[in-house]
Amino acid sequence: MTKLSVNINKIATLRNARGGNVPNVVQFAKDCERFGADGITVHPRPDERHITLKDVYDLAPVVKTEFNIEGYPDARFMEIIRSVKPAQATLVPDPPHVITSNTGWDVTKNKQLLIDIVQEIQSYGVRVSLFLNPEIHQVHEAKLTGTNRIEFYTGPFAEHYAENKNIAVAPYVKAAKAAYDIALGINAGHDLSLQNLQFFKQSLIHLDEVSIGHAIISDALYYGIENVIQMYKRLLQ
């Protein structure tokens, strides 16, 4: 069964809008786990516009499932990984000023950097995943870095799903087969939702994990977070 990691960045965004500690990010993460989430994902950006450094260290001893920390592998991020030693570090190529991760690594151009970073993170006993576009040549390049997994950027799939879902998912199916054939684990994330997740999961039969935040938090406004987590998990069965 594909695991569901809940990205709680938006909970921190809501808290930061007012100040104080409501909603409580740590309690929300604990509740997500209690309601069935298989992991918790955070992306502690340098400007702390949502998840803060303090949040990361507060969450570290509390998360009992898989703690996944996303980010660009600069010195700050590497210190976080070295100190916290989460279950997984997901490396994204976007600079600090972008609103959200919106493309995968060009592994060819950044191969030596990624080789060095992957090796260092793995030395801490942390699994590594590289954020990728669904391109077969990038999948093969990713394998050469030594990464454990890749995470497909699913924004384009979600964007074109309503137009023609079979065409939208086709590059992911091909890239996922290439990854599976060379023993790379497969994660996915970005704009996956109640509308498109089941089809994506059925199309990528070897999908290890999805990381979903914006859609889950948005759906929770209507259905409640406990119900929503179960709704998403049913789509992944």
- Catalytic-role residue among 43, 135, 151, 209: 43
Is residue 190 annotated as a catalytic residue, yes or no? yes
Beta bridge partners of 72: none
Contact by Cβ (8 Å): 168, 134: no
**What's the CA gap between 210 and 69, in Å, rounded?**
14
Helices (DSSP H) in 37-97: which residue ranges? 53-59, 75-84
Is residue 70 annotated as a catalytic residue, yes or no? yes
Residue 46 tokens, joined: 């340098």
- Catalytic-role residue among 50, 66, 135, 190: 190
Residues ≥6 apart with Cβ < 8 Å to 185 = 129, 148, 149, 150, 179, 208, 209
- Catalytic-role residue among 33, 66, 70, 141: 70
∠167-173-39 over CA atoms, to 5°? 115
> For residue 56, which of 23, 29, 32 has the smallest C-alpha distance?
29
Phi/psi at 207 (5° precision): -80, 120
Residue 175 DSSP code: H
Burial 178-187 (b: 16+ CB within 10 A, else e): bbbeeebbbb
Length of the chain: 237
Active site residues per annotation? 43, 70, 190
